[in-house]
Amino acid sequence: MVERYKCNKCGTVNEFPRYGNAMTLLKFRKGRCGEWANCFTLILKSLGLKVRYLWNLEDHVWCEYYSKNLKRFIHLDPCENAFDNPLLYNHGWGKKMSYVFAISDHYIQDVSDRYVDSKSDKKLPRNRISELDLNKFLAIVNLTNFLRIKDTNDYLETVSEFLNDYNQRKGITKLAHSKTPLSTEMLPRQSGSADWTKSRGEDGK
């Protein structure tokens, strides 16, 4: 897909191709959050790390990696230079959010409860699908993908990873080495112009 932008003053047309292939992006080196997240995820995977791609319905993407030391998935946003600060978007940007999904090689998890503060006025209604139907759909997708894993060790490791993350988010098991972000880390969106972030409701106001 190619986006076209025209200057209202001089009439100059600028074309901006949106590449989805991370290898192409490493050469092109231009893009927005989607391109940054794709490239960063590829780099992390090339280092042998377990990585998940995070997708938010309200138009933002980032990633997570699994820390063996902390024994949990860690929030990473290459656009914002953010580390382990999952409430950055709700509390820092002031972004209104509903659904957030973590997509790994073998499963999809609804991780909205990690990134959307249930007590915040920035929480949007989750009314695209009933919670029951959403859970059924994810269960079918994940079970199908789990059954495709041929190696027994990979299967056990993946299912254990899935259940451990679920239990931590639901408070069933204690979150290991949790980090409380400093107030100085709860910043409005740093990438993009002031007018653009304001129009998207991501300027912290």
**Catalytic residue (choose from 63, 75, 77, 84):** 77
Indicate which residue of 39, 60, 75, 91 is catalytic: 60
Task: Note if 63 is an active site residue.
Answer: no
Active site residue 33: yes
Asked if 123 and 98 touch (Cβ cutoff 8 Å), the reply is yes
Q: What DSSP string describes 86-116?
A: TTIIIIII---B--EEEE-SS-EEE-HHHHS
Decide if 77 is catalytic.
yes
Angle at 133 between CA 128 and CA 139, to 5 degrees: 120
**CB atoms near residue 2 (< 10 Å):** 8
Asked if residue 86 lies in contact with residue 168, where contact means CB atoms within 8 angstroms, the answer is no
The residues annotated with a catalytic role in the active site are 33, 60, 77
